[in-house]
Structure 1
Amino acid sequence: MKKLMLLFMLLLVTNLVSAQIGVQEVFSQPNKVAPGEKLTIRIMLENFGEDEVSNVAVKLDLTDLPFAPVDSSTEQVTGKIEEDERKQLVFNLIALPEAEPRIYKIPLKITYNNTVKESLISINVESKPELDLVLESSELVKVNDNGKIILKLINLGLSDIKSLRLTLIQVQGYEILSSNTVYISDIDVEDFETAEFTLIARERNPRLLFNINYKDVNNNEYAENKELALNVYTVEEAKQLGLVQNNIFLSILIPIITIVIIYFIYRKLRKRKI
């Protein structure tokens, strides 16, 4: 009996050694996927052993991961794989819209001949940040005014923004009195931060020029230039729009002084005639 058991175990071990299935290559197309985008994973199996193998089951474990199968299952079973033969399995997935940009590890399980092998494959979810720059408020009303402007930087994308540097470029239309660079550590998705500069407006309606540098969560670097209009008026325009208050005291005092001067001149001339 012991000899039979020993012979059975020997045959089993020999069979397992002679039939070794492994993952030879994994392809992801595209190699970077955005939230809500479909992708295809191709897994190349190879029989490194000496015997053919049938009914090799390959399963992707998507538990608690932001992916779902599309027109396919998360598990596939191959037919016969001969010695040194390769066989490709194709899985169609979609990255769910709520997938956060980062690299995900998907457990891969291969089962054959009472053998279970486990491995991991990677999917890189990326989303280009979308940054908006708006003028929140301005103390500058008319030409040669000195005041602050406040800007709002809004993250409209699906990826967090970090290590942001905002630079206001000096041009002819305005003079920068404060530092021309503001640093912001991070801006979360659907969030915003503010930046402040102090200027003198040197002309009517100058264009504010900015250079912005930042990174996404995968440390990809981005650089862009933006331009904002700054409404600055002449003194006359500001008065007409009611943006500058006329000095009521002077508007009353000046006519009174003028009348008094005219009165004294009149009296003086009258005395001479007498």
Structure 2
Amino acid sequence: MQNLTVLGTGVLGSQIILQAAYHGKDVVAYDINDEILGKLPARWEFLRERYLADLPDATEEKVDAAVARIRPSSDLADALKDADLVIEAVPEVLDIKRDTWAKVAAVAPEKTIFATNSSTLLPSDIADATGRPERFLALHFANEIWRNNTGEVMGHAGTSADAFEDVARFAEQIGMVAIRVKKEQPGYVLNSLLVPLLSAAADLWVRGVADIETIDLTWRKATGAPAGPFQIFDVVGMETPYNLNVRSDDPVKREFAEIIKRDYIDKGRLGLAAGKGFYDYEA
């Protein structure tokens, strides 16, 4: 499991890429065009500062070596030609994920194991689109994976035991604590706990019960947590809560998505990685 290809270079995809490279893996960073890939050097510099600040063993030389092990590509066949493992981190929309995996299945080597980083979708929702359901499962990372280092491994009924353990061992090799999820669960363990918190915070805000700062302050002070729910939204980035809520049957959740799109995404306030989201970080 030395050769990794990551599909998608957004907030979490870029973290998976650098984390794997930092732990010695050779990584291909795939995205749909060279314009997107051209933004990666700035992303590595942003993450460099976080690694140096958060990890006692991090050095400039180690981060430089990690970046040197990353090869960008916008050609899917080229990106997959040597892959032992593919991790998909494309937008949280079922049709997009299924379409991506169908294209991957057409060109990936037989040896390659497929893993989705989906936050909420089940592997069984996607497995048939991969062409190799027995070698398909989920590997889900918490945001800021260099310090929130859990890797939740979750198969579906058709996932082979060997593929499951191979992915769990890979997670451990790149510095994760492998969380072996015993049965399919929307949201795994982490998001089954986290999403209700974030949804409750959004509901309180949209309905005018309390403002963002008060909601976050309440959670931090009353629980001792280091961050409130809207600070967590900023770490996750705005695209994920927008995609998760825009088609909801709940009118409050749909309104939350509309506000995110109008007042944040459309204004470039994409979250911590962009320097501004619900809060300003640029200073």
Question: If the TM-score is normalised by the length of the shorter chain, which range does it land in?
Answer: under 0.3
TM-score under structure 2 normalisation?
0.21
- Higher strand proportion (structure 1 or 2): 1
Q: Which has the higher helix share?
A: 2
Q: What TM-score results when the alignment is normalised by the length of structure 1?
A: 0.22
